[in-house]
Structure 1
Amino acid sequence: MTTDGALARLIRSSADRTVAAKAEVCDLCAAPVADEHAHLYDTGKEEVRCVCGPCSVLFAGAGAGDGHYRLVPRRRVRLPRVDTAALGVPVGLVFFVPRTDGTVTAQGPSPAGAMRWEVDAAAWQELAGTCPQLATVEPEVEALLVNTVHGLDHHWIVPIDDCYRMVAVVRREWRGLSGGGQVWPAVERFFEDLTERP
C-alpha cells in the first residue's frame, strides 16, 4: 500500500465521519430522519426535538407521553392584520405562545436568542374575540407569529418550530449593535418562504 493510498483513505474516512455526524437523527431512538421530519415539543425543557416517523406516531394522540412531549402540528395559516398593540410587547418581530395553564408568553428574537415577556392573558382572550382563529392556536406547540418591522405586515399561526427557525435566522445573520445589513433581508426571505398548510 502506498502512502498516497493510505492518506486518501484517511481523508475519505474523515469526510465520511463528518457527513455522518451532521446527519440528523431522531432524538428519541437515534434513527436517521429525513430532511422534512416531525418535531416534538418538550414541555419541561421548552425545546423542540427531532423525531422520526414511527416515534411521531407514539405522540399523535391527545395525552400521549403524559403531556411531557407534544407533537408539533404542521398547520400554517396566514391571518389578516391582527392589532397586537393591546398585548403590550414593544417589538415588531415577535411570536405569542398560549400555554396550557392559560398564560401567554411573547418571544422576540435577539442576537443572544429569544427575549421573553409575559402577556396579559385577558388581553389575549380579548384579541382572540376579535380574531376567532386565535382561539384555535394549540397551546405550547403553535404560535401567532408577527412581523411589522420596516412596514411589513405578516401575521401567521405557525408551528412553534417555525418560530425557533426564525430566531435562528436572526442569531445567524445579526452583526454589530443594530443587526447589520444581512439580518432584515434574511428575515424578509424567511417570511416570503412561509406557505399555508392545513
Structure 2
Amino acid sequence: MTMDGALARVIRSAADRTAAAGVERCELCAAPVPGGHPHLYDTPDGEVRCVCRPCSVLFAGDGAGQGRYRLVPRRRVRLPAVDTGVLGVPVGLVFFVPRADGTVTAQGPSPAGAMRWEVDAGAWEKLAAMCPRLASVAPDVEALLVNTVRGLDEHWIVPVDDCYRMVALIRREWRGLSGGSRVWPAVERFFAELTERS
C-alpha cells in the first residue's frame, strides 16, 4: 500500500466515524462543523448550506464564488412594531424574504413545514417606506420575522437560517391540532434567545 493510499484510508475512516457519530459536516469540504456554524445560501438551488468557518471566509465578499453562494449574515435587529397587515398575510408567526429578483415570499411555520406564498412587491415597498430599516434587508439571506401570536408583538430582521430553525422547532414541538402545551413556550424561548443574541 502506498503512503497516499494509507493516508486516504485513514481520512476516510475518520470521516466515517464522524458521520456515524452524527456530527454535521461542511457541505463544501466535508470538515466537521460545530453548533452555531456559518451558512451559505446556494443561489441556484435556493437552499441554505452548512459550512465550516474557513470555507465561509471564502464567500465573505460581494461577488465571491461568482454569485453561486452568498454568506448568510449574522445580524439580528429588533424593530419597533411594524404594520405587516399591508402585506395581506393572515398568520401571526411568519417571515418575509425579499428575493434578488424583486419578489417577496412569506413563509409561515406549520407542523408539516413552512407554508409559502408570494407577497405583492408593491406592498413590501410600502411597508419599507413606513419602516426604512427594511430597505436594508439583504435579499435571499435575511428576513423580516414577525410574531404576533398570543399577545406578542415581535418584529426582527434576522438571518434566514434563524427562520428555518424556527420552522424546525415548530415541526418538532407541535402536538395534536392546536399545537399542544410545548410549542408556544418553545416559540417564546426562541424569541427570547434572539434578544440575547442580538
Match of 1:142 in 2: 142
State the distance in 1 between where 2:189 and 2:32 align: 29
Write the deviation string for residues 98-148 of structure 1: whole angstroms up to 9, x where unpaired. 000000000000111100010010110111011010000000000000000
State the distance in 2 between where 1:134 and 1:140 align: 13
State the distance in 2 between where 1:196 and 1:76 align: 10
State the distance in 2 between where 1:99 and 1:118 align: 11
Tell me whether 1:99 sits opposite 2:76 in the alignment: no
Which letter maps to 2:111? P
- Aligned-residue identity in percent: 79
User: RMSD across aligned C-alpha pairs, in angstroms?
Assistant: 1.7
State the distance in 1 between where 2:50 and 2:195 align: 21
Q: Which runs of 4+ in 1 moved over 4 A?
A: 16-20
2:95 match: secondary structure: strand
Which letter maps to 2:46? E
2:187 match: secondary structure: helix
Query: What is the CA-CA distance between 1:39 and the residue it aligns to?
Result: 0.5
Q: Which runs of 5+ in 2 are unaligned?
A: 1-15
Kept after mapping to 1: 8 A contact 2:18/2:32: no
Q: Pairwise mapping of residues 17-28 of structure 1 onto structure 2 (< 5 A)?
A: 17=17, 20-28=20-28
Does the C-alpha gap of structure 1 residues 18 and 174 become closer, same or farther in structure 2, counting only changes over 3 Å?
A: farther
Tell me whether 1:116 sits opposite 2:116 in the alignment: yes
Match of 2:185 in 1: 185
Tell me whether 1:46 sits opposite 2:46 in the alignment: yes
Match of 1:13 in 2: none
State the aligned residue count.
183
State the distance in 2 between where 1:20 and 1:86 align: 48
Q: Which runs of 5+ in 1 are unaligned?
A: 1-15
TM-score by length of 2: 0.87
